[in-house]
């Protein structure tokens, strides 16, 4: 039976200073038209687990400020061990790292910065006013290319999914409300999960078939403490933009907003485009 999201995010102490999680095929990044084991565990899940392993394993209680994660190799759908390290701790800021793998094979390594919020100047130029989520229809991704993990996300697009060339000649951007299907209040782990919850935005600029890519690294900056009152129903509005595609690489940026329009996170992701076959004679 496929895990629930809460089960997928759970970590167990291994008694040796590390934590383990069970990676389930229901969170595969393979398209739903293919077997789950044709893909690997979804990058957003790995980011959420990495941050959770640092927080739990090191007893960190202050908000996560930033997470940088490198995807070194595709993990298998099995138990994965996270080994967190406190690189430097302090009253206001703590620097941590974590590596995760299966046996001798590392799957990810990540850096986390944790620190308390204090009173000071406020400037929020990224505040947004998207259409209310209640007025938009839920739009499951097409199973022909939509990954397995998207079954755990409810998507409500602003102005549609714009797939396969609908943004050709225009800014390659996409707006979408998302929440996890358990409709739980938004928290740190669910936000990290959702920051990687859509297809690459360059899909809107190029015609089908989609140019497949693999996530190489991701950096998320959280702009406020993610407490239950930020989004009690779990919704956040995301705006993604492709910044550059070329040389076999893609760089994409995103902003996440609370339902009241406040910016709550920034994300930048680098992807490696998979080679495409030219026409055969």
The domains located in the chain, with CATH, are 5-115+138-273 (2.40.160.210)
Which pLDDT score is estimated for 281?
A: 38
Q: Please give the average per-residue pLDDT across 166-191, as a whole number.
A: 97
- Tokens matching residue 208: 């089908």
Which pLDDT score is estimated for 171?
A: 95
Q: What is the pLDDT of residues 218-254, one digit of tens each?
A: 999 999 999 999 999 999 999 999 999 999 999 999 9
The three state secondary structure string of the chain is: CCCCHHHHCCCEECCCCCEEEECCHHHECCECCCCHHHCCECHHHHHHHHHHHHHHHHCCCCCEEEEEEEECCCCCCCEEEEEEEEEECCCCEEEEEEEEEECCEEEEEEEEEEECCCCCCCCCCCCCCCCCHHHCCCCCCCCCCCEHHHHHEEEEEECCCCCCCCCCCCCCEEEEEEEECCCCCCCHHHHHHHCCCCCCHHHHCCCCCCCCEEEEEEEEEECCCCCHHHCCCCCEEEEEEEEEEECCEEEEEEEEECCCCCEEEEEEEEEEECCCCCCCC
Give the chain's mean pLDDT.
95
Which pLDDT score is estimated for 144?
A: 86
Q: What is the pLDDT of residues 1-44, one digit of tens each?
A: 589 999 999 999 999 999 999 999 999 999 999 999 999 999 99
Q: Please give the average per-residue pLDDT across 43-55, as a whole number.
A: 98
Question: pTM, whole model, 2 decimals?
Answer: 0.96
């Amino acid at each position: 039976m496929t895990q629930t999201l809460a089960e997928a995010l759970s970590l167990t102490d291994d008694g040796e200073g590390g934590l383990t999680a069970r990676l389930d095929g229901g969170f595969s990044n393979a398209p739903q038209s293919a077997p789950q084991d044709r893909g690997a565990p979804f990058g957003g899940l790995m980011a959420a687990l990495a941050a959770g392993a640092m927080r739990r394993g090191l007893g960190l209680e202050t908000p996560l400020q930033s997470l940088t994660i490198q995807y070194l190799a595709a993990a298998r759908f099995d138990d994965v061990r996270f080994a967190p390290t406190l690189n430097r701790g302090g009253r206001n800021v703590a620097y941590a790292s974590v590596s995760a793998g299966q046996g001798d094979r590392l799957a990810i390594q990540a850096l986390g910065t944790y620190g308390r919020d204090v009173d000071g100047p406020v400037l929020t130029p990224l505040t947004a006013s998207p259409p209310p989520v209640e007025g938009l229809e839920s739009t499951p991704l097409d199973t022909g290319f939509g990954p397995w993990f998207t079954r755990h996300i409810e998507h409500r697009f602003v102005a549609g999914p714009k797939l396969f060339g609908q943004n050709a000649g225009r800014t390659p951007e996409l707006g979408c409300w998302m929440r996890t299907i358990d409709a739980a209040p938004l928290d740190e782990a669910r936000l990290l999960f959702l920051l990687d919850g859509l297809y690459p935005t360059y899909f809107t600029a190029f015609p089908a078939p989609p140019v497949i890519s693999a996530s190489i690294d991701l950096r998320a900056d959280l702009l406020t403490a993610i407490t239950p009152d930020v989004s009690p129903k779990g919704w956040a509005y995301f705006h993604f933009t492709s910044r550059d595609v070329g040389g076999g690489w893609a760089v994409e940026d995103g902003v996440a907003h609370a339902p009241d329009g406040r910016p709550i996170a920034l994300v930048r992701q680098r992807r490696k485009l998979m080679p495409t076959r030219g026409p055969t004679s």
